[in-house]
Structure 1
Amino acid sequence: MNRIKTPCIGLCSTVYGDAVCRGCKRYDAEIIAWNGYDEARKEAVMRRLDGWLAQAMQGRCEVIDVERLLAGARVLGVHGGSRAFVHHCAYEVIRRGARVITALEDYGIGVLPAVASLPVDELRDVLDQAFFQLAVQASTA
């Protein structure tokens, strides 16, 4: 069975009162209830996160080769790397590999001209900020 794992990255900020976690971008209530969610509910949360990541990546980078992305995710130890949540997988590859990856293309990720001059760790920060802003905006809508 292919169970959906938690998107937690161990940087939870909801313990400090944030309504949206700065690490995984889930809402505080989702973090608390995650282990009680059925697979369909977990998948719905993951699809929402993947959608926000697709928006955050827009104009910055794109998945150009899913097979290379998934292989790179395995090499970096990215958990939950799958075709179902490809943008989330790409984000985790960038996040986890920011200090060791020199060519994102080797991991199936193309960098677009708007951010082509950024090192991978700065691209990671740009994506993370855009991802967080989308989560915060949705939480207040």
Structure 2
Amino acid sequence: MKKIKTPCVGLCSTVYGDLVCRGCKRYDYEIIAWNGYEEDQKHAVMQRLDILLAQAMAGKCEVFDIDCMMTGVQLLRIHGCSPAFVHHCAYQIITRGSSVINSLEEYGIRVLPAAASLRLTELRDILDQAFFELSHSVLEADKRQLAFVRLSNGVAMQQISTSCRES
């Protein structure tokens, strides 16, 4: 597996108490632990981010030429993009190139009819907000699931304790 670079974009809001970074959309604990993660752990984080970006982009834009997009990544000097995470690369192009790109199609990205009337900066802002909200809702769902598992384990431990005392 190719070494995965940090998705950090230098706008970390977790230092101000956010649980989801407004820059890269990773969770605060992932940012703290990133340098200690194995490559498969980093891959899992990047894969989750890419899936969330695919959801955020759905109906608004799509990648139609990965090679062209990767050339655009190089032209815009965007580091850390991998063709394994197509939506992440497309998002980086839109985010970092929104003020200089005239046509996303030149970068292998097609704006779909539902978003055709938007300026690229507006599309960027809509995608960024959707990506943040999706990341935050997944974190909340994960926390609820973890609380349920802890509660279930606590009930199971209480039942074991009670049955041991009765014996």
TM over 0.5: yes
1:63 matched residue in structure 2: 63
| Contact 1:74/1:81 (8 A) holds in 2 | no
- The 5-angstrom pairing of residues 1-141 of structure 1 reads 2-141=2-141
**Residue type matched to 2:19 in 1?**
A
In structure 1, C-alpha distance between the alignment counterparts of 2:135 and 2:86, rounded to whole Å: 18
Give the unaligned 5+ runs of structure 1.
Answer: none
SS at match of 2:110: strand
SS at match of 1:110: strand
TM, length-normalised to structure 2: 0.83
TM, length-normalised to structure 1: 0.98
2:164 matched residue in structure 1: none
In structure 1, C-alpha distance between the alignment counterparts of 2:136 and 2:81, rounded to whole Å: 24
TM-superposed CA distance for 1:3, in Å, is 1.3
In structure 2, C-alpha distance between the alignment counterparts of 1:35 and 1:131, rounded to whole Å: 23
Identity between Structure 1 and Structure 2 (%):
65
| Contact 1:60/1:114 (8 A) holds in 2 | yes
**Residue type matched to 2:53 in 1?**
L
In structure 2, C-alpha distance between the alignment counterparts of 1:26 and 1:67, rounded to whole Å: 26
SS at match of 2:83: coil
SS at match of 1:5: coil
TM-superposed CA distance for 1:80, in Å, is 2.1
1:50-78 Cα distance to aligned partner (Å, 9 max, x none): 00000000000000110110000010011
**Number of aligned positions between the proteins:** 141
SS at match of 2:6: coil
Which has the greater radius of gyration? 2
SS at match of 2:84: coil
In structure 1, C-alpha distance between the alignment counterparts of 2:126 and 2:44, rounded to whole Å: 25
1:1-57 Cα distance to aligned partner (Å, 9 max, x none): 831000000000101100000100000000000000011100000000000000000
More helix by share: 2
**Residue type matched to 2:9 in 1?**
I
TM-superposed CA distance for 1:132, in Å, is 0.3
Give the unaligned 5+ runs of structure 2.
Answer: 142-167
